[in-house]
């Protein structure tokens, strides 16, 4: 597990790039077969071998701040319910009543129990079955055996809730993660949208700055730099730092007082499908849930410190509107890629030396998923 650069070292590396008109570069290129984006069977393997068997971030802990807080949504094609119990522990369940399978919760909120709207079977926050209307009609029912079915494991690390849906003996628990989301974070909003593109095409748009000038000419480019990033890896995860031009104000400061807050946006990619973007006044946690090989459901959790949320609400709103413009620009591009993916123009996508985080992402995917009988080594095609 590699260590991430501290603020002083990171700023020094950024200044070196600025002064020399350079950027972090990978040691080789990567060619990813277009078939891996088009194939529904490939997606099913990704869901089965990665999304359901490994520890995957589900939501920020701040989205479940109190006893009874819950989130119910589909993850890796499976309806899940995650709730904070009366003991303060977060638990995850398959969102299906043990009577006839209807979902017992929807969306997000806070409540003391979950009642199926079909026949009224009721479950407590720990998943136990507590009420069956007219229970004399079920003489063979043992309530203690018919609680909600739990997921294999739930873990809270670094301000995030991780879910492992299926038990795998050698699965790695989340470890070595930076403390991205402290205990003082408050949830500002949860937004959902459908992206008409493969989840990997969308994820890739977060992980390189090579497109800043062309795609974001009126938004990010005037305040950032063209193709200038620091790219770091920790395990299968990555951090890409995008500096703002106002980083110049740090040049005269002592190394120990250089703070990147407000002078950079840092995008953390937590494998496989979560992006965390830091801004001056808030942090956005983006969860990409594949719906099909051509569609992705995006869940965005906006967070800020409790003090910031109270005192700078209008500034947060203004910043959010600006970032939303840039996000829509990325969305148009990735959806355009999806529209042309069956054109036959490309048999592979070319990731150059400026796009090392994308190669790292796909290399990690290939560690889990074999494609068309080929090994990851055969699929990698460095130039």
- CA dist 14 and 83 (Å) reads 41
Residue closest to 31 by CA, chosen among 346, 287, 367, 258 = 346
Contacts of 256 (CB under 8 A, 6+ apart): 8
Strand 56-60's sheet: what is its strand order?
56-60, 160-164, 153-157
For domain 7-52+182-379, give the CATH number. Answer: 3.90.380.10
- H/E stretch holding 78 reads strand 78-84
Q: Which two tokens stand for residue 67?
A: 């006893």
The CATH architecture assigned to 56-164 reads 3-layer Sandwich (2.102)
How is the chain split into domains, by residue range?
Answer: 7-52+182-379, 56-164
Strands 113-115 and 230-234: unpaired
Residue 223: other Cβ atoms inside 10 A: 13
pTM: 0.93
Judge contact between 43 and 51, C-beta under 8 A.
Answer: no
pLDDT in single tens digits along all 383 residues of the chain: 568 999 999 999 999 999 999 999 999 999 999 999 999 999 999 999 999 999 999 999 999 999 999 999 999 999 999 999 999 999 999 999 999 999 999 999 999 999 999 999 999 999 999 999 999 999 999 999 999 999 999 999 999 999 999 998 888 888 888 888 988 899 999 999 999 999 999 999 999 999 999 999 999 999 999 999 999 999 999 999 999 999 999 988 777 667 888 899 999 999 999 999 999 889 999 999 999 999 999 999 999 988 888 888 888 877 788 888 889 999 999 999 999 999 999 999 999 999 999 999 999 999 999 644 443 433 343 32
CB contact burial 61-79 (16+ within 10 A = b; e otherwise): bbbbeeeebbbbbebbbbb
3-state secondary structure 4-32: CCCHHHHHHHHHHHHHHCCCCCCCCCEEE
């Amino acid at each position: 597990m590699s260590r991430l650069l501290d603020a002083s070292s990171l700023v020094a590396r950024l200044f070196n790039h600025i002064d020399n008109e350079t950027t972090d570069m990978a040691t080789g290129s990567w060619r990813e077969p277009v078939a891996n984006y088009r194939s529904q069977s490939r997606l099913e393997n990704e869901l089965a071998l990665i999304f359901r068997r490994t520890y995957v971030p589900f939501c920020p802990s701040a989205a479940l701040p109190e006893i009874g807080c819950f989130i119910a949504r589909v993850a890796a094609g499976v309806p899940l319910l995650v709730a904070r119990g009366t003991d303060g522990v977060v638990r995850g369940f398959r969102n299906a009543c043990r009577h006839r399978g209807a979902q017992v919760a929807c969306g997000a909120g806070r409540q003391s129990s979950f009642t199926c709207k079909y026949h009224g079977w009721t479950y407590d926050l720990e998943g136990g079955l507590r009420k069956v209307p007219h229970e004399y009609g079920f003489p063979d029912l043992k309530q203690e055996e018919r609680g909600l079915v739990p997921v294999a494991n739930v873990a809270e690390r670094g301000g995030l809730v991780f879910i492992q849906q299926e038990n795998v003996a050698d699965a790695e628990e989340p470890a070595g993660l930076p403390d991205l989301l402290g205990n003082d974070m408050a949830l500002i909003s949860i937004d959902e949208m459908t992206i008409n593109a493969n989840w990997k095409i969308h994820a890739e748009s977060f992980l390189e700055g090579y497109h800043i000038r062309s795609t974001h000419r009126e938004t990010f480019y005037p305040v950032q730099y063209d193709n200038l990033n620091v790219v770091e890896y920790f395990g299968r995860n990555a951090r890409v730092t995008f500096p703002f031009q106002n980083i110049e104000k740090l040049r005269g400061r002592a190394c120990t007082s250089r703070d990147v807050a407000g002078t950079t946006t840092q995008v953390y990619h937590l494998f496989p499908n979560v992006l965390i973007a830091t801004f001056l006044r808030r942090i956005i946690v983006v969860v990409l849930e594949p719906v099909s090989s051509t569609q992705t459901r995006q869940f965005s959790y906006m967070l800020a410190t409790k003090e910031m949320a109270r005192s700078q609400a209008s500034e947060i709103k203004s910043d959010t509107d600006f970032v939303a413009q840039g996000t829509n620009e990325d969305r148009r591009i990735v959806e355009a890629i999806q529209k042309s993916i069956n054109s036959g123009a490309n048999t592979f996508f070319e990731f150059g030396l400026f796009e090392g985080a994308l190669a790292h992402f796909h290399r990690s995917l290939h560690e889990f998923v074999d494609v068309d009988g080929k090994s990851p080594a055969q699929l990698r095609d460095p130039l």
